[in-house]
Amino acid sequence: MDEIGQKRRLRPGDGQARAARIQDVARLADVSTATVSRALATPDRVSPEARARVFDAIAKTGYVPNPAARSLRSQKTYMVLVVLPDLANMFFSRILRGIEETLFDAGYGMIISDLDGSPEKEAHFAAFTAAGRVDGAILLNGHLFGQSRDGKGTPANLNIPLVALCEAIPGADIPQIEIDNRAAARRMTQHLASLGHRRIAYVSGPPENVLEHERFKGYREGLRAWDLPFDPALVLPGDYTLDSGTQAGQLLLAKPERPTAVFCTSDEMAIGLVRTLRSAGLRVPDDISVAGFDDIEFAAAAQPALTTVHQPRRELGQAAASTLIDLLQGRMAPKRIRLKTDLIIRDSVADLR
């Protein structure tokens, strides 16, 4: 093995091994040191062949990049903040996977901010961001730091690229990555009506949430499309969690006249509602049909398997990360991206025709 191929090289005269340097990698890969740096920081700017040679040389030499030195030279952290309203919500799992793999491919890492409804946490991460600890941020919390969901308050002056994901932020002049929630809810409501359901209940999301506003509009439009009356008594409160689905099920059981179908605006709520109905001796879908929204991992494994709206969660994460990378690297990015949803038909909805 020659000296470049060794993982440790000797300093002349001291008999001590020294760490491999970027020059060693460049020599072995037959590229410049600048190309090695680009392959690590912005791999999309390096040809696949050169990139492969660089990473092969890194593996052979044992070279360990120094991110702190790289940050000092470039005045960049190569880190992105991902702001979540609730990390415990399983909806975010595939979104985070799409974000992380896209950032990794471009030489960036991510820090997760789990706000969990805490103003103190939000203030902490706003200060963390303002201090230059990250290069950009992806917001899944539905508002800018310093503002409420209804746009009140003064947004924090962060001076970094921002991207809103899933929950659009009205009035914010930043790229917004989302699905068409209104159209998806309308489609599900019309699907239930097309199967002969005439009393269709609706389990809502949090009243201040922009997703809830759009999905509720879609539900109303779906009813109108089939000339079905809107009954406020069939609207049950929820907050997208399993527990709120359980509570909605209890409210439903207390009603003297039950609906034939229930459209829950999250799968977690639908699963909690089904569990409550079945515990009371009702059969789903024979006695009552239940549909959800999101197509989380447990939707297909639920008993019965859940009819739902499929959100392309991994692709949403990838689109948000790619958009932010474009901004970080000085490229133009679209202001709005909407990805397609699909209606997934499973066993939790009965045909009454």
The SS3 assignment for 57 reads helix
Asked if 197 and 260 touch (Cβ cutoff 8 Å), the reply is: yes
Percent of the chain with pLDDT over 70: 90
Please report the sign of the dihedral spanned by the C-alpha atoms of residue 161, residue 163, residue 169, residue 172: positive
Residue 28 reports pLDDT greater than 60: yes
Query: What predicted TM-score, i.e. pTM, was given to this entire model?
Result: 0.78
Give start and end residues of each alpha helix (H) in 204-266.
Answer: 210-225, 242-253
Asked if 58 and 22 touch (Cβ cutoff 8 Å), the reply is: no
- Residues 254 and 98: their CA atoms lie apart, in Å, by 42
For residue 67, what pLDDT is reported? Answer: 57
Domain limits, the chain: 8-65, 77-178+313-339, 181-312
For residue 48, what pLDDT is reported? Answer: 84
Residue 10 reports pLDDT greater than 60: no
How sure is the predictor about 1, in pLDDT bands with cuts at 50, 70 and 90?
A: very low
Choose between 97 and 38: higher pLDDT. 97
Residue 152 reports pLDDT greater than 80: no
Residue 315 reports pLDDT greater than 60: yes
Structure confidence by residue, pLDDT tens digits, 86-144: 998 889 999 999 999 999 999 999 999 999 888 888 888 888 888 788 999 999 999 99
Do 8-65 and 181-312 fold alike per CATH?
A: no
What are φ and ψ of residue 294, in 5° steps? Answer: 125, -40
Give the residue-averaged pLDDT of 248-274: 97
Structure confidence by residue, pLDDT tens digits, 268-302: 999 999 999 999 999 999 999 999 999 999 999 99
Pick the CATH number of 181-312 from 2.30.30.100, 3.40.50.2300, 1.10.3430.10, 3.90.209.20: 3.40.50.2300
What is the C-alpha radius of gyration for the chain, rounded to an integer number of angstroms? 26
Choose between 178 and 13: higher pLDDT. 178
How sure is the predictor about 3, in pLDDT bands with cuts at 50, 70 and 90?
A: very low
Q: Which of 35-44, 164-173, 183-192, 326-335 bottoms out in mean pLDDT, i.e. has the lowest? A: 35-44
Structure confidence by residue, pLDDT tens digits, 54-80: 878 887 887 776 655 555 455 688 999
Contacts of residue 29, defined as CB under 8 A and 6 or more positions apart, other chains included, come to: 35, 36, 50, 53, 54, 56, 57
- Residues 112 and 241: their CA atoms lie apart, in Å, by 21
For residue 39, what pLDDT is reported? Answer: 78
How sure is the predictor about 151, in pLDDT bands with cuts at 50, 70 and 90?
A: low
Q: Which CATH architecture has domain 77-178+313-339?
A: 3-Layer(aba) Sandwich (3.40)
Q: CA torsion, points 324, 328, 332, 337, in degrees to nearest 10?
A: 0
Give residue for tokens 């991902």: 82
Look over the chain and give the mean of its residue pLDDT values, rounded to a whole number.
89
How sure is the predictor about 310, in pLDDT bands with cuts at 50, 70 and 90?
A: very high
For residue 222, what pLDDT is reported? Answer: 98
Residue 9 reports pLDDT greater than 70: no
Burial 102-119 (b: 16+ CB within 10 A, else e): bbeebbbebbebbbeeee
- Residues 167 and 174: their CA atoms lie apart, in Å, by 12
Give the residue-averaged pLDDT of 198-204: 98
For residue 12, what pLDDT is reported? Answer: 39
How sure is the predictor about 41, in pLDDT bands with cuts at 50, 70 and 90?
A: low
Structure confidence by residue, pLDDT tens digits, 329-341: 999 999 999 999 9
Q: Which CATH class is domain 8-65?
A: mainly alpha
For residue 311, what pLDDT is reported? Answer: 97
For residue 191, what pLDDT is reported? Answer: 98
